[in-house]
Amino acid sequence: MVKSHLTLPAGIYCAILSALVLSVSMMFPIVLAQTNNNGYSFFMPGSKPFGKTHGEWSSAFWQWIISAPSDRNPSNVNDNTGKYCSKGQSGPVWFLPLVLGGDAVKTCNIPSGKTILFPVYVGECSTAEYPQYKTESELRKCAKDQADKQTIMDATIDGKKISDLQKYRTQSPLFQLNFPNNNVFSATAGPSNSVADGVLLLVSSLPPGKHQLRASTGTVDFTSSTVADTGTATYNLDVTK
């Protein structure tokens, strides 16, 4: 007896194969696009960790930053308990708050297994903060100019220096922010278009325990050879099991 075989059109085979590749890449993004830097692993710009580009994660980061009012915003409040750092956090990527000028220490409790978004320097321009800019191209130039000014950058994890920080620079797509009343930038409340640009690291999950991340930035005034607008952000992390 001859067994019959079901023959599928070539197009259906291609569709099934594409779906399988996409499923594997979503399940195992670390295998597909990750580099090792002094003992720690980072997703590279151009990869798509957990289904989003670096630029899209930058957009999500800024939406998280802006969402909380100033008096409960971890970027504005020097929170030594970590309670504000955890507000509004969900999903596979955990955001660290900004340091809004100068030096500050932030404390964050992070569940194990999370990829950490570490903002070394991230500029951002929105129509709410800069009403003189009306178009996407104007917002892009504004954000790029902010990031270009940061000519000094240094970042460490547990005392180990991270090399080649500029290769982690990325610019976001155009995205929308919804500024609450009493927001950290004192912008007009409501929706606003925005673009972000800067160096951010997507750090693969750190082992449970205590960790310290540190980022220092500065702007050089080449006309006088002086360094201005310096600041250091220190993050004391407790990665819990």
SS (H, E, C) 156-207: EECCEECCCHHHHEEECCCEEEEECCCCCCCCCCEEEEEEEEEEEEEECCCC
How many residues does the structure list for the chain? Answer: 241
Question: Could you report the per-residue pLDDT of 101-138, keeping only the tens digit for each?
Answer: 778 899 999 999 999 999 999 899 999 999 999 999 99
Residue 229 CA to residue 101 CA, distance in Å, equals 8
Task: With a cut of 90, say whether residue 235 has pLDDT above it.
Answer: yes
The pLDDT score that the predictor gives to residue 21 is 36
Please name the helix (run of DSSP H) or strand (run of DSSP E) that holds residue 154, with its range, or none: strand 152-157
Task: With a cut of 80, say whether residue 226 has pLDDT above it.
Answer: no
The pLDDT score that the predictor gives to residue 229 is 59
The pLDDT score that the predictor gives to residue 241 is 84
Task: With a cut of 70, say whether residue 88 has pLDDT above it.
Answer: yes
Confidence bin at 36 (pLDDT 50/70/90):
confident
Residue 197 CA to residue 145 CA, distance in Å, equals 9
Span 186-196, mean pLDDT? Answer: 96
pTM of the model: 0.82
- The phi, psi pair for 55, rounded to 5°, reads -65, -40
